[in-house]
Structure 1
């Protein structure tokens, strides 16, 4: 589903296409409104679409035209496609892809968490680090003491083999 070549050759996109509700996936029978926002334009703009069955079709044939807006009351999967605004002079706006789901299972996308909380609080992190250092020191001291004890025992065995 591509925009016709005439539209791609025009570089000035004077209009902006918006959609209400503001999303790209819809379900059967929902109402969708597409609007062309055209600041200071003297040409008329209309919403057009490319679907799997038709290309570059104006709103009058598939929706209800109201000025520079077009409303689809009761969308179907056949309404899935690319939508854009086009002026009578051939200028084009941005495009919006719309998909109409064939079943009413909600499509969810994870929302990015703008301010993720750290996995561990700073005081708890610091106390964990300090405990790790303390336990490491205790372990080193225990190993050092054990080595000294075994060395002293080996020395005692050499000096007094009969007593140990």
Structure 2
């Protein structure tokens, strides 16, 4: 007789967890990996990946995903068509036993179009609940087809009843914000893809941080403010924190960094002694090194490109002058010979 083994049968299906690496916005051509795991379960599973339809919320099997036991699906060169919300599921046995669908994970692939702008009013990343918010996709090239989209727990349009399109501008207005409106917002076009994503957070508290929605450019100034749900307190003294450490203790509710550098990137929040502290906001700093390099390269290469033309011009002028001198010398000699001949005669 062998040792006894306890067999436990659970009516609950095993849970699958989906993760994405890198978990950030991607640009076309980058590689991304989706990893699916079954929690608290043994091996022997095979995996499938699905996209979630925006309108019906039904799932569709990703046609180029590879089913296997490792739970890894890699796209080596993403395009804008890979933008979407993904889930995974595992199965094993014959007949197949399926787990529940995993948590949803968004995958964003963004392209670049300098003619398109995402305008936020009021222009900040944190907002109080019950306030209104307006987001507009403006195309300065006067093309159409842009829409404002967002991702909270699913991929969807901004509420159709709140969306209005006028020519090359599509505007989404949320008249009374709720904490469930916290998420990522962006402009999207069928022909171009996704552009200009921003993080918007909505809070029920009494204090928020007025911080920029878009990345700050190196060398620019940055101003942060404490904003209050009700009227301003009589004592405006506030502390400002970066990555958990006090960076400035002001007699006012405002802090200014005159010249921003890459070292200023991080999580910021403010704290008022009476009203409390704001949520944290990530402030991103955009480098201008590439533009500087381009400018320096242009400064160097322009004279180098012009020099051959200047040199050729100098050579031509020099040859022309020599030709004139030689021609004048021949004429003088001929005239001298004529005069000598006339004198001898």
TM-score by length of 1: 0.58
Which structure has greater strand proportion?
Answer: 2
5+ long unaligned stretches in structure 1: 116-164
Q: Which whole-Å deviations, capped at 9, do the CAs of 1:34-64 have from their partners, x for residues lacking one?
A: 011111143310000011x222x11235x61
Partner of 1:34: 135
Matches within 5 A, 1:1-164: 5-6=82-83, 8-9=108-109, 11-13=111-113, 14-51=115-152, 53-55=153-155, 57-61=156-160, 64-67=162-165, 68-107=170-209, 108=226, 110-112=254-256, 114=258
Aligned mates of 1:58, 1:2 — CA distance in 2: 20
Greater than 4 Å deviation, 4+ residue runs: 1-4, 7-10
- Aligned-pair CA distance for 1:2: 6.2
- Aligned-pair CA distance for 1:15: 2.0
Aligned length: 112
RMSD, aligned CA: 2.7
CA contact (8 A) 1:2 1:82 kept: no
5+ long unaligned stretches in structure 2: 1-22, 26-79, 85-107, 210-225, 227-239, 241-253, 260-345
Aligned mates of 2:174, 2:198 — CA distance in 1: 15
Structure 2 vs 1, CA of residues 81 and 9 (structure 1 numbering), >3 Å: closer, same or farther?
Answer: closer
CA contact (8 A) 2:126 2:208 kept: no
CA contact (8 A) 1:6 1:90 kept: no
- Aligned-pair CA distance for 1:71: 0.3
Tell which structure's C-alpha radius of gyration is larger: 1
CA contact (8 A) 1:20 1:34 kept: yes
Which structure has greater helix proportion?
Answer: 1
